[in-house]
Structure 1
Amino acid sequence: MGFFSAIGSFIMTPLYYVISAIMVGWHELFTALGLPADSGAAWALSIVGLTLVIRMLLIPLFVKQIKSSRNMQLIQPKVKELQKKYGHDRERLAQETMKLYRETGTNPFASCLPILLQMPIFFGLFRLIDQAAKNGEGRGVLTDEQAQQFQAARLFGVDISETFISAGGDVGVMLMAAALVVAMTVTTFLTQRQLMSKNMPADALSGPYAQQQKLLLYVLPLVFAVGGVAFPIGVLIYWTTSNLWTMGQQFYVIRRNPAPGTPAATAKAERDKARAARKGLGPTPEEQAQEAAAAAEAEAAARRAAARQQPKRQTRSQRTAGGRPAQRGAGPGGATTGGSTKAGAKPATKASKKKR
């Protein structure tokens, strides 16, 4: 156990310093703005500020997640073709699928990166608050005095260091903790639902990637709902704020840069068309009708021209002669050539017989 504790301490100690430095920095700012240093409002707002800083640092990973999710959606038809072709050979199917991922630059696990990278921060904040709440001990740059302030800090008459299961019958703590657990669960569900309903094409909703997303849609909120009763109120504030940030950030990206073939893409095209019409940059409805009528007339004219260019039907004699029409050009000495020579030979023969 000592070995694993040393590894855990080696990983978590830098996080304690980073997390506590950001949180204490926000606390000093709000204290300078007039909030009491030992108030729950100052510490709760410090946790919100910590959340905003962490999420801003994760924006590059979020962009990578969106791109990877879009690629996963767009290659679903190809994945289905591979499943039809190599469905009988699981090993070959896996090889071809991984090859497709490499060629398209797609990482099927990239959608989990922001959550996975937040987990150490989440545990670091949890331990920081837990130790401050239980023992009044600071970690990182959080001093023992500040930890004791946090331990006694109250927000709306509730200790923000308490949890639902450790409320000891305190109705206020239980109500606030339960409300934040519900908020955390609902925002987690809506974040996943927003991505599936707005930014996934129809053919991507039936593949293995869609099944994975549907599983996460219902499993993650359930995990947070069950585990949330053991989280301090301060940690619940962090996670709910993080989910709200994700929803807003995702809404902005989906609205401005949706994946092709999705409901969000259709809505964006309609907004762009309406905006162009309002600014006079695009055709008016009357002009659109005129363009449609002109296009229909052009198409009809093309069909008529194609009908006029059809080859003429051949006569029976022409088909018998190999399908070539008779040529009436004159040959040497005034004799006709081609089919005319043959046609004129028979009357000449009959005339010679009469003379004889």
Structure 2
Amino acid sequence: MPDVLSTLLTPLTHAVAAVLAAAHHLATALGLGPSSAGGWLLAVALLVVAVRTVLLPVTVHGVRSAHARAHAAPQLRELRRRYAGSRDLEQLTAMRAEQRRIHAEHGVSAWGLAPVLLQLPLFYALYRVVSDLAAGHSVGALDAGLVASASAASVAGLHLTGHLGTTFGASVPGGLLLAAVALGAALLSLLTQRWFVLPMTDPTDLPEAMATVQRLMPWVGGLGVLAAAAFVPAGLVVYWFVNNAWTFAQQGLVWRFAPTPGSPAALRRATTT
């Protein structure tokens, strides 16, 4: 199955490789050495900018969908109250028809999870590209010369193609640097969830068990990044750090200027304006 998935996503993997190669060429055009750590770090940062810019319409769709669901929530809550305990097929059919009408009225998309699902192939392609670089394999526009250049780039003994265990074995400063980058990526994930995502969630209709799970999710996400960082190439950890920094800033802007209606963030904004 992994081989089939890899084959299906080969065009996307090659597209990501082409963007990374172009970003590296731009970094060298700016005067950074082809095998310098600075050149490859800038290339990874530019890759994040390119990917997140492409995903901006998905982000906007997600914000609009959240607002639509929030505006529909009071009517849906009343609808559930009216039909609570009903087992009659005719009444249940009527309830579903009314639910569809409310969704249509407020523009609630039936494809609410589509934006998240669309990102999964892209993340897989990113993982394949960095993994191939770490293994010394050419992929798409990243030819043998660029692969050798990426393998040679290092900061304090930290190579972008290295792993945490091997890096610590070869260079303690490099291992500590990679651990610090992983910790930064995990912290950014945690703070994004706690400061910006949770406050934009309306807890009104959430069962207590689900609310407890939501409160734990920031910690689960942060610890997940730390755990994964022990097994993936350093280049991917760097990508996570820059990507999480982008997400932190992006969610901060949404929290400040377009919070979900009815959420604690929206109430805070209403009392301060």
Q: Which residue of 2 aligns with 1:158?
A: 158
Preserved CA contact (<8 Å) 1:13 1:140: no
Q: Which residue of 2 aligns with 1:106?
A: 108
* One-letter code aligned to 2:63: I
Matches within 5 A, 1:71-150: 71-88=68-85, 92=92, 95=96, 99=100, 100-107=102-109, 110=112, 113-134=114-135, 136-150=136-150
**Shift, 1:103, TM fit:** 4.5
Preserved CA contact (<8 Å) 2:158 2:178: no
Matches within 5 A, 1:117-266: 117-134=118-135, 136-167=136-167, 169-170=169-170, 171-201=172-202, 203=204, 213-214=214-215, 216-266=217-267
* One-letter code aligned to 2:222: P
Structure 2 CA distance for partners of 1:85 and 1:174, relative to 1, 3 Å: farther
TM-score (norm 1): 0.64
Preserved CA contact (<8 Å) 1:181 1:236: yes
**Shift, 1:236, TM fit:** 1.1
Deviating more after overlay: 215-224 vs 171-180? 215-224
**Shift, 1:79, TM fit:** 4.0
Q: 3-state SS of the aligned residue for 2:78?
A: helix
Structure 2 CA distance for partners of 1:82 and 1:224, relative to 1, 3 Å: farther
Structure 2 CA distance for partners of 1:27 and 1:55, relative to 1, 3 Å: same
Q: 3-state SS of the aligned residue for 2:24?
A: helix
Task: Render the CA deviation track for 1:94-128: whole Å, top value 9, x for unaligned.
Answer: 94796344553324873x55554333222222222
**Shift, 1:67, TM fit:** 1.4
Deviating more after overlay: 82-91 vs 38-47? 82-91
* One-letter code aligned to 2:162: E
**Shift, 1:22, TM fit:** 1.1
Q: Which residue of 2 aligns with 1:66?
A: 63
Rounded Cα–Cα distance in structure 2 between residues aligned with 1:97 and 1:183: 47
Give the counterpart of 1:10 among 7, 12, 26: 7
**Shift, 1:269, TM fit:** 4.6
Preserved CA contact (<8 Å) 1:73 1:204: no
Matches within 5 A, 1:38-77: 38-77=35-74
TM-score (norm 2): 0.81
Q: Which has the larger radius of gyration?
A: 1
> How many pairs align?
267
* One-letter code aligned to 1:241: V
Rounded Cα–Cα distance in structure 1 between residues aligned with 2:44 and 2:57: 22
Preserved CA contact (<8 Å) 2:23 2:46: yes
Gaps of 5+ in 1: 273-356
